[in-house]
Amino acid sequence: MKRMVICIVFAALMLGTLPVRAQSAPTFAPVECPMPIPAGARVTCGEIRVPENRSKPNGRMIRLPFAVLHSQHPHPQPDPVVFISSGGPGGSSLDALAFYVHSAHLQERDFIFVEQRGNKYADPALECPEVQMAAFANFSAVDAREIEIAREVDAARACRDRLLAQGIDLTAYNSAESAADLEDLRVLLGYEQWNLVGASYAARLVLTTMRLYPDGIRSVVLDSVYAPEVNAYEQHVPTLARALETLFANCAADVECGTAYPALEAHFYAVIERMNAAPLVVNVRHPVTDESVTLRLTGDDLILGVFNALYQRNTIRFLPFIIEELYRGNVSVIEPVAQEGFKNIFSRAQGMYYSAECREEYPFNDPAAQTEIARSYPALANFMPSISEPAICEMWGAGVADASESQAVTSDIPALVLAGEYDPVTSPAFTQAAAANLANSYFYQLPYFGHAVQDQSNCANQLAASFIQSPAQDPDATCLQTLSRLDFVTTSKDILPTRWVYWANREILQGGNPLLAAVLALGVLGLVIQVVMFALKFKSMRSWRAILPALTALLTLVSLFWFYRVIITADVTLLGFGLPASARGLVGLWGAVGAFALASLTAQFTRPKDSNMSKK
């Protein structure tokens, strides 16, 4: 029924039959979807027009797109699921739609994805490529901390001035206004109630909406809560330290990881000290320009990299291996980490991030307390996800949020609250405390996962779907009993470290070096021709010297096919660091190919002279 209502309203808008609203009244219209639509998904996109600043009723209007991923059910429930985003501020929700096309929610409900104001597909989008380029530039030099901060502050000032010149009100991009956007959309679409889902900062936005507009919410799913009552800046270092302690303890408790890396914690801090004294030089391709860039990474940079890796289950399992390889002097393992990690610098609308963060979080933190708390963790004391953020907040001009936005939200709205064991940014303890303020909440901590567990775990999504189906009773949590343990990667059982696999993928398969790819293709073609010629002439061959080149070519082709089978079935992340341990036989085969090739060359140079030539 709801789907029919949406379609009728869309059609009416297209025909111009809806009444004209005042400029300051929210409206919406159908639009082409701004993001790619996965094959087979049924999606309807629209765009809501809302006041930029609701305290200025005659001010400008802004546009926020949304997408309805339609249910598989012919008569879906009247209360859809609404996905806010998996983080931010500044993270796009529409880009996440492809991940949820097979969501269990779709069995009974439509799934609506709402792009928050200021984000990637909104108009305006508060993007700051200047800041992101400056942040990346800081990794290519080893400057004093003050110089690096000044570089990013100057870039942020340029972005701020550009946005202000466009007439953008930086005080209007925050959780309170975004919550009002959600309420306007709910009313415009005619839903009596709906179910809100958000992770990290988006969980904070959901809490804000619960506080301001509770009547329109049937239930909520809060994942890795960025709790407003927690002074996040003061807790950055202890929260990361807790996640690292979890990593070290779990590796030690795992027989294979503990045996392979018995001094993991000590080696980690030794690597940090070593890299701070002598930064590692790493060559990567710039995520935007694709130019080759030389980075100089310090120990503090490594801490930031490990912090980011702790977000995802699949990167957590590689951390002991990476730390130990760095300790042993294998610095090549840092290149794939850096190449993939630095892409994230450019993944969010940085201006939106500053507008919300500098208004709602920064003013409520005590820099002196932050410094004092960090002193308890000397090796991590310099850690900040963004070292320039406090200085940028001082000049950004986002204003200061009402004190109520830094207080815990209490509510009796049914809530499912999820946390990840390794979360390095929103501690599971703080997420659990936020759940305790919600009278009808269910809290689950998922082992073996990091931040925003719904992005990584089918079990988390099954929990959410079960809860939303019946918010008044315990969700079906049986899947928690079947979660596979985190399989830490070790050189003894999982991987043969080698840089050339990553190099070959970058230079050949990804088109980094077209000439090399063409030469390789010609070489393979030559091997095929040689094997075919061998097969055609086999019966007439009498000399083993004539057979050797063809055998070499045949073994080479077999090894290439074997290698292809290995890489298409292997963990993509693992291939950044080497070959699966199961490929040890392939290494032996390559040794045989080399031996045959050497024997073939030797035979060619030592063959007897032609008898007719000797007579002359």
Using DSSP's 3-state secondary structure scheme, residue 48 falls into strand
Nearest to 221 by CA among 538, 3, 514, 463: 463
Task: Give the dihedral sign, CA 198/200/204/207.
Answer: positive
Asked if pLDDT for residue 230 goes beyond 80, the answer is: yes
pLDDT at 4: 40
Residues 237 and 298 in one domain: yes
> Is residue 211 within 8 Å of residue 409, measured between CB atoms?
yes
Q: How far apart are CA 204 and CA 228, in angstroms?
A: 7
> Is residue 213 within 8 Å of residue 101, measured between CB atoms?
no
Peptide bond into 74 cis (omega under 30): no
Which whole number is the average pLDDT over 139-152? Answer: 90
Asked if pLDDT for residue 568 goes beyond 70, the answer is: no
Asked if pLDDT for residue 115 goes beyond 60, the answer is: yes
Instruction: Give 505's DSSP letter.
Output: I
Residues 199 and 60 in one domain: yes
Neighbour count for residue 613 (Cβ, 10 Å):
7
Nearest to 316 by CA among 326, 328, 306: 306
Asked if pLDDT for residue 206 goes beyond 90, the answer is: yes
Residues facing residue 444 across a β-bridge: 418
Prediction pTM value: 0.85
Amino acid at 167: G
Decide which of 457, 482, 507 is a domain's last residue: 482
> Is residue 239 within 8 Å of residue 261, measured between CB atoms?
no
Residues facing residue 416 across a β-bridge: 221, 442
Strands in 31-169 per DSSP E: 43-51, 61-69, 81-83, 111-114
Decide which of 456, 482, 508 is a domain's last residue: 482
Beta strands at 81-83 and 194-200: parallel, antiparallel or unpaired: parallel
Residues 284 and 175 in one domain: no
Of all residues in the chain, the percent with pLDDT exceeding 70 is: 79
In Å, the largest CA–CA distance within the chain is 107
Q: Within a domain: residue 74? A: yes
Of all residues in the chain, the percent with pLDDT exceeding 90 is: 64
Confidence of residue 252 (pLDDT cuts 50, 70, 90): very high
pLDDT at 616: 41
Residues 247 and 211 in one domain: no
Q: Within a domain: residue 565? A: yes
Please provide the DSSP assignment of 151-189 as one string: HHHHHHHHHHHHHHHTT--GGG-SHHHHHHHHHHHHHHH
Residues facing residue 294 across a β-bridge: 283
Q: Within a domain: residue 146? A: no
Interhelix angle 232-253/319-327, nearest 10 degrees = 80
Residues 455 and 528 in one domain: no
Confidence of residue 327 (pLDDT cuts 50, 70, 90): very high
Which whole number is the average pLDDT over 86-92? Answer: 86
Nearest to 56 by CA among 162, 164, 172, 181: 172
Residues 15 and 88 in one domain: yes
pLDDT at 15: 32
- 270-302 exposure pattern, b = at least 16 Cβ within 10 A, e = fewer: bbbebbbeebbebebeebeeeeebebbbbbbbb
Please provide the DSSP assignment of 296-342 as one string: EE-HHHHHHHHHHHTTSHHHHTTHHHHHHHHHTT-GGGHHHHHHHHG
What is the end-to-end Cα distance of the chain in Å, rounded? 99
Nearest to 178 by CA among 122, 217, 218: 122
Q: Within a domain: residue 599? A: yes
Confidence of residue 226 (pLDDT cuts 50, 70, 90): very high
Which element (helix H / strand E) includes 6? helix 2-15
Nearest to 229 by CA among 429, 390, 36: 429
Across the chain, mean pLDDT equals 85
Q: What is the pLDDT of residues 289-323, one digit of tens each?
A: 778 888 899 999 999 999 999 999 999 999 999 99
Find which of 39-48, 103-112, 209-218 is predicted with most confidence, using mean pLDDT: 209-218
pLDDT at 376: 95
Residues 569 and 449 in one domain: no
Write the secondary structure of 583-604 as one string of H (helix), E (strand) and C (coil).
HHHHHHHHHHHHHHHHHHHHHH
Residues facing residue 497 across a β-bridge: 578
Hey, what are 423's tokens? 């979360």
Q: What is the pLDDT of residues 429-457, one digit of tens each?
A: 999 999 999 999 999 999 999 999 999 99
Q: Which residues lie closer than 8 Å to 157 by C-beta, 6 or more apart?
A: 395
Residues 226 and 237 in one domain: no
pLDDT at 286: 80
Residues 289 and 382 in one domain: yes
Peptide bond into 51 cis (omega under 30): no
Q: How far apart are CA 118 and CA 62, in angstroms?
A: 9
Q: Within a domain: residue 184? A: yes
Q: Within a domain: residue 149? A: no
Q: How far apart are CA 324 and CA 490, in angstroms?
A: 10
Residues 263 and 361 in one domain: yes
Asked if pLDDT for residue 141 goes beyond 90, the answer is: no
pLDDT at 140: 84
Asked if pLDDT for residue 9 goes beyond 50, the answer is: no
Using DSSP's 3-state secondary structure scheme, residue 416 falls into strand
Q: Within a domain: residue 132? A: no
> Is residue 451 within 8 Å of residue 200, measured between CB atoms?
yes
pLDDT at 2: 42
Which whole number is the average pLDDT over 344-371? Answer: 93
| Residue given tokens 């000290």 in the structure block | 273
pLDDT at 496: 74
Confidence of residue 594 (pLDDT cuts 50, 70, 90): low
Q: What is the pLDDT of residues 49-73, one digit of tens each?
A: 999 999 987 889 999 999 999 998 9
179 vs 603, more confident: 179
Residues 69 and 218 in one domain: yes
Q: Which domain holds residue 216?
A: 2-123+171-230+403-482
Neighbour count for residue 456 (Cβ, 10 Å):
19
Asked if pLDDT for residue 465 goes beyond 80, the answer is: yes
Nearest to 210 by CA among 175, 262, 171: 175
Burial of 179 (0-12, 13-18, 19+ CB in 10 A): buried
Which whole number is the average pLDDT over 83-110? Answer: 91
Q: How far is CA 401 from CA 50, 56, 86, 171, 184, in A?
A: 20, 17, 22, 9, 21
Confidence of residue 241 (pLDDT cuts 50, 70, 90): very high
Instruction: Tell me how many domains the chain contains.
Output: 3
Helix, strand, coil in percent for the chain, rounding step 5: 55, 15, 35
Asked if pLDDT for residue 420 goes beyond 70, the answer is: yes
Interhelix angle 145-165/129-138, nearest 10 degrees = 170
Q: What is the CATH number of the domain that holds 202?
A: 3.40.50.1820
Q: Within a domain: residue 157? A: no
Q: How far is CA 568 from CA 314, 355, 516, 554, 564, in A?
A: 17, 43, 21, 21, 6
Window from 249-253, 254-258, 322-326, 519-523 with minimum mean pLDDT:
519-523
Decide which of 426, 457, 482 is a domain's last residue: 482
Q: How far apart are CA 251 and CA 319, in angstroms?
A: 10
> Is residue 139 within 8 Å of residue 286, measured between CB atoms?
no
Which whole number is the average pLDDT over 174-180? Answer: 97
Q: What is the pLDDT of residues 507-536, one digit of tens each?
A: 555 555 566 555 555 655 655 665 565 555
Confidence of residue 339 (pLDDT cuts 50, 70, 90): confident
Residues 273 and 416 in one domain: no
